[in-house]
Amino acid sequence: MRRVLILGGTAEARALAAELLGHCHVVSSLAGRVTNPRLPVGEVREGGFGGPDGLAAWLAAERIDAMVDATHPFAARMSASAAEASATNGVPLLTLRRPGWREGPGDAWERVGSLRAAADLLGHGDRVFLTTGRRSLPVFTVLPGVWLLARSVDPPDPPVPGNVHVLLDRGPYTLEGELALIREHRLDVLVTKDSGGSMTTAKLLAARELGLRVIMVDRPPPPAGVRLVESVAEAAVWAQG
């Protein structure tokens, strides 16, 4: 059976593993950072490979025929590592990246290239809905006079400053829930990464409905020269060779 590695940590990676079940021998790989991750069907390994060389060695040892990078669009280091390992040992690589979000009627998102640039747009008195992940928190907590509702899957590293309210939660989210959250905490700015996908779009609809400012951090570009698809179906066809 064809042996396929899926670099995962996303809903698309789990869907792809399910799609390939019975057609290929699939190993899904997770970084091992989330305490209680949603697991794909089939074989799962956890933890880093030790950079591109470690991944190249692992691919050879496991006799992997093809690799799909289905990591989150912001997991730039893992994607770069996959591209380098593929170039080193010739294991074909496909990158599955869901489309980014698009503005709808009435939206006026402020697009920025980094978390730091997003923080630069915030000022005294802002009440911010921050959904950029627990590791990004230090970029924002230092801003004077800014109050943050920081939502993340796992808790941020302590100490958490007094201007931050941490909300531990994991999508999918509903429009009703997001509207209630924004109203309850009197939020006026949403800061988010352009993750794409349907599981977390409700915050954008709620922000539109309630007139919040939206600061959108753009995705890092994929590694040069990689073959990209946007759907699980396309990746499933490719993976089966």
Residues binding ligand NAP (CB under 6 A): 7-10, 29-31, 33, 48-51, 54-55, 71-72, 74-78, 81, 133
Quick one: 72 or 208, whose CB is closer to ligand NAP?
Answer: 72
- Which of residues 37 and 210 has its CB atom nearest to ligand NAP in the complex? 37
Residue 179 in tokens: 């509207």
CB count in 10 Å sphere of residue 63: 9
- Least distance (Å) between residue 167 CB and ligand NAP: 16
Are residues 185 and 165 in contact, defined by beta-carbon separation less than 8 angstroms?
Answer: yes
Q: Which is nearer to ligand NAP, 76 or 179 (CB)?
A: 76
Q: How far is Cα 138 from Cα 143, in angstroms, rounded to an integer?
A: 9
Closest contact distance (angstroms) between CB of 47 and ligand NAP is 6
Contact between residue 78 and residue 103 where contact means Cβ atoms under 8 Å apart: no
Nearest approach in angstroms of CB 29 to ligand NAP is: 4
CA 140 and chain centroid, separation: 19
Q: How far is the CB of 73 from ligand NAP (least distance, A)?
A: 8
Please identify, using beta-carbon distances, which residue of 34 and 142 lies nearer to ligand NAP. 34
Q: State how far the Cα of 78 lies from the Cα of 84, in Å rounded to an integer.
A: 10
Nearer Cβ to ligand NAP (27/122): 27
Least distance from ligand NAP to the Cβ atom of residue 59, Å:
12
One-letter amino acid at 210 equals L
Report the residue number whose CB is nearest to ligand NAP: 48
CA–CA separation, 112 and 218 (whole Å)? 6
